[in-house]
A and B are shown apart, each in its own frame.
Chain A
Amino acid sequence: MIVTEPSHDRALDAAASRAHSNRPPAIEAVGLTKRYGDVEALAGLDLVAPAGQVTAVLGPNGAGKTTFVKAVATLLRPDRGSLHVVGIDAITHPQQIRRVIGLAGQNAAVEPALTGRENLVMVARLFGHRRAAARAAADSVLAEIGLTDDADRPVRGYSGGMRRRLDLGASLVGAPRLLLLDEPTTGLDPRTRLELWGSIRALVRGGTDVLLTTQYLEEADQLADHVVIIDHGRSIATGSPTELKARAGRDVVDVRVRHAADLGRTADLLAPLSSDAPHLDPPARRITVPVADGTARLTDAVRAITADGIELDDIGLRRPTLDEVFLALTAHDA
């Protein structure tokens, strides 16, 4: 497993604004194993989440994302392997880890009968704040997540997005060094997802390290400096979103024909351009094919198609999307 250096776009900004140089990695897992009966949820997972960054753990359902977050949050003990969180051994010193992390799980674990403020004050007390400090922490977090105006209403009147924001806020009242977000936007509508992304970005600017899990490539692309793709309890690729796209290596020739009837013939014309078979998307009348020497192959494609007299709506060359990278990397079980 090659652990690549942080990318130089967002990572540099982050590093500059935080001015922390020699901090230990937020998370360092080596050979982490966890078995439930016959299922190996973690199968020797190696993962490093660098300090001062947002790390996204990306993977399909059942890849081991939640098990990993639970291990980091000291909710479960790995069978084998070592796990350090901000430099502290999570297996021998779980109580110390609990003082530096904040967890927002897959459900919004907030109490509907209490007000937003009461929910936050309760969690702040449980982090160890005294009464006055707990109230101050709640006020400050309410402002940060944009819920000050709704703070004294019972949560049962909140929308789903407001509950998630409150849950995110609850993980912040202890001023954690590392925030763990397990699928923070699963089940939210697109607008609410954007809102929550905004909240998470604001936190990151404030200097909190974040580990988030997601099934959405777009989410990882939007929020993370560092992406770890896991599958079957193992890490299968790491890097910045840009690096991972580059790692799939090849550009994609993307063609849209005017008449659906031309799809088959166009695919035949494109086939010689690549060692991979062209991918057809009939409803969109689209054909994509990954190619090595992008610009030259695009010219070839245009030439062949025009010579044949096929009418096109669009033709172009583009970088692969993270979806394509992801599918390529996890193709072994497809």
Chain B
Amino acid sequence: MNTTNTTNTITAPDHPPTALATAGAYASRTIRQFARTPQLLVVGALTSVMFLLIFRYVFGGAIDTGAIAYVDFLIPALAAAAGLFSSGATGVAEDADSGLFDRLRSLPVPRAAVLLGRSLADTALVMWSVVVTIVVGFAVGFRIGGGPLEALAAFGLCVLFAAAFSWLMIYLGLISGTAQAAQGISFSVFPLIFVSSAYVPVESMPGWLQPVAEHQPVTAMVGAVRALTIDADAAMVLGHSTSWFVVRALLWSVVILAVFATLSTRRFARGG
């Protein structure tokens, strides 16, 4: 054991960390944790690719999407809703459980910035699986029908959706207590994915379910990305104009982000 004392050479910092430095430190730690844990890196992308292949080749043939090829119907949905498959809730519960959150709360950080860092990292990690999904999508026949600017806008929307859902997942992670519970609670968002236009057209659902599916956020988000990535003629089949979907998707994202960012940040700052 080296007992030479060197603590005195460290001087206490003059200022507490900025919000940016705080968010950056936690985000970069979370991304490095993910990138260096092969299980996380592979599983993150694998879930999405698995859904892609199963729906493309197993269920796809039985689903009638009219003038749109099923693969062109599916890939935008997977990209738009990828945030709901994120492991963010589990990650947050693990960090709470390991004592990291206690340490962070004991430091002179702006507490509201801590979870912002988590959200940034989780969004980046979801976008990693989105990119993998799109690449695999191209390999199994997905083609972009609209212009490059529209495709870029669609990708931008996917980032926004991922950011909004990252806060939902952070909140679920904070309220679940343990990593195992968080994993279970994460499944509670599945109805949101399946009772939407993500995998099947809403019209194919029973009448009583259609209004629910029609008016929930995932349908608006998926519709917006689809409308921007298929050609104008095929887009007619979607039932609404591109702007109808985009405006609703933007509104939903802002609402989800505002509600869960506020709830999560409050809960984190309060502690316990």
Partner of A105, one of B4, B102, B271: B102
Taking the closest CB of chain B, its distance from the CB of A289, in whole angstroms, is 41
A114/B103 in contact, CB under 8 A:
no
Partner of A206, one of B5, B16, B103: B5
Given contacts A103-B106, A118-B32, contact A146 B12 (CB under 8 A): no
Partner of A100, one of B12, B28, B271: B12
Cβ contacts B4-25/A at 8 Å (1 or 0 each):
1111111111111100011011
Asked if B100 is at the interface of the complex by the 8 Å CB criterion, the answer is yes
CA gap between A73 and B102 in the complex, in Å: 9
Cβ contacts A176-214/B at 8 Å (1 or 0 each):
110010000000000000010011011101111000000
Interface residues of A in 103-157 (CB under 8 A from B): 103, 105-109, 111, 113-114, 118, 122-123, 125-130, 133, 136-137, 140-141, 143-146, 148, 154
| B36 nearest in chain A by CB position | A113
Taking the closest CB of chain A, its distance from the CB of B248, in whole angstroms, is 39
B7/A206 in contact, CB under 8 A:
yes
Interface residues of B in 246-260 (CB under 8 A from A): none
Number of residues on chain B facing chain A (CB within 8 A): 41
Stretch at the interface among A22-30, A167-175, A218-226, A324-332: A167-175
Asked if A101 is at the interface of the complex by the 8 Å CB criterion, the answer is yes
Residues in B whose Cβ lies below 8 Å from that of A148: 2
CA gap between A263 and B4 in the complex, in Å: 52
B12/A99 in contact, CB under 8 A:
yes
Asked if B139 is at the interface of the complex by the 8 Å CB criterion, the answer is no
Q: How many A-B contacts if CB must be within 8 Å?
A: 143
Asked if B188 is at the interface of the complex by the 8 Å CB criterion, the answer is no
Partner of B100, one of A109, A130, A143, A195: A109
| A119 nearest in chain B by CB position | B29
A127/B6 in contact, CB under 8 A:
no
Best-surrounded residue of A102, A118, A140 (most CB of chain B within 10 A): A140
Residues in B whose Cβ lies below 8 Å from that of A177: 12
Residues in B whose Cβ lies below 8 Å from that of A195: 1
Asked if A95 is at the interface of the complex by the 8 Å CB criterion, the answer is yes
Asked if A75 is at the interface of the complex by the 8 Å CB criterion, the answer is yes
Partner of B7, one of A95, A107, A175: A175
Partner of B25, one of A73, A122, A136, A171: A122
Asked if B144 is at the interface of the complex by the 8 Å CB criterion, the answer is no
A175/B10 in contact, CB under 8 A:
yes
A127/B107 in contact, CB under 8 A:
yes
Q: Give chain B's interface secondary structure class.
A: loop
Partner of A128, one of B28, B36, B106, B108: B108
Taking the closest CB of chain A, its distance from the CB of B118, in whole angstroms, is 13
Partner of B17, one of A125, A143, A172, A176: A125
Taking the closest CB of chain A, its distance from the CB of B35, in whole angstroms, is 8
Taking the closest CB of chain A, its distance from the CB of B213, in whole angstroms, is 40
CA gap between A130 and B11 in the complex, in Å: 12
CA gap between A101 and B11 in the complex, in Å: 13
Taking the closest CB of chain B, its distance from the CB of A23, in whole angstroms, is 16
Residues in A whose Cβ lies below 8 Å from that of B7: 140-141, 144, 172, 175, 203, 206-208
Asked if B105 is at the interface of the complex by the 8 Å CB criterion, the answer is yes
Residues in A whose Cβ lies below 8 Å from that of B3: 198, 201-202, 205
Taking the closest CB of chain A, its distance from the CB of B176, in whole angstroms, is 18
Residues in A whose Cβ lies below 8 Å from that of B22: 126
B13/A202 in contact, CB under 8 A:
no
| B22 nearest in chain A by CB position | A126
Mark A residues whose CB is within 8 Å of B.
70, 73-76, 95, 98-103, 105-109, 111, 113-114, 118, 122-123, 125-130, 133, 136-137, 140-141, 143-146, 148, 154, 170-177, 180, 195, 198-199, 201-203, 205-208
Mark B residues whose CB is within 8 Å of A.
1-17, 21-22, 24-26, 28-29, 32-33, 36-37, 98-100, 102-109, 271-272
Q: Which 9 A-B pairs have the closest CB atoms?
A: A128-B13, A109-B99, A107-B99, A206-B5, A103-B106, A98-B108, A175-B12, A175-B10, A113-B33
